Structure 1
């Protein structure tokens, strides 16, 4: 790629280690306030992330990472995402994600019937994570 002023350095880390570390032209994430696109020389940003994909455009290529919450910090053309968990598109086991979705849906149904708000909230997060992984894997 070109000089440091025209590219982003994007790193995604989780408690288990680094998931992604590449340079790109554009980073697109979904924050609690909505979708955010970051290009080189963007103003510094700190944002809380939703359970959603992160897309990194690199010329004609695009990398998709299933990011499950966390935070984004961007400054000096360096974007760092610290996430609870994250998976590269090629690393996602779709069958496992489908099973997780089914378990979460069943748990949601039981929690609604039992009026168990805590279990319902946890199951809804699990469902969002599973659906996110499925969506990223199928792109």
Structure 2
């Protein structure tokens, strides 16, 4: 059995194909989704989504949004997202270092919140390219 996964951002389709399984970061923790999953709507956190297809795992950095699971179909609407193969490691590391420095320099509540979110997004991109895939059967 398979799942139909669509990941959409405001300006593009990030993923649109059949998959065997996904592991999704939601605001209440990670959930695994297999065929015949119960219908569900969930808030998607800034985090890494793992996708199993053809016995192999790939990852995607998601920057928050919503997921709807219904009838073996998953539609995820995100603010932004990147597949692991599209993330340049050097650029991701530089962005992470810059975000850490910005957080250290942040003054006031608003700057601190914005810098913390930027750091979380940068960390997620690094995790997506460095994630060790789960063991598959």
Query: Do the structures match in fold with TM over 0.5?
Result: yes
Larger C-alpha radius of gyration, 1 or 2? Answer: 1
What are the ranges of 5 or more consecutive residues in structure 2 without an aligned counterpart? 132-137
- TM-score for both structures, normalised by structure 1: 0.89
Map 1:1-139 to 2 at 5 A: 6-111=1-106, 114=107, 116-139=108-131
Query: What's the CA shift string for 1:16-39, capped at 9, x where partnerless?
Result: 210111211111101111111111
Three-state SS of the structure 1 residue aligned to 2:14 is strand
SS for the counterpart of 1:41 is coil
- Provide the secondary structure at the position in 1 that maps to 2:23: strand
Residues 59-95 of structure 1 show CA distances to partners (whole Å, capped at 9, x for unaligned) of 4111211111111111111101111110011100222
User: TM (normalized to structure 2)?
Assistant: 0.90
Deviation of 1:50 (Å): 1.1
SS of match in other structure, 1:65? strand
Match of 2:135 in 1: none
Unaligned runs of 5+ in 1: 1-5
Root-mean-square deviation (CA, aligned residues, Å) is 1.1
8 A Cα contact 1:100 1:126, kept in partner: no
Deviating 4+ runs (over 3 angstroms):
none
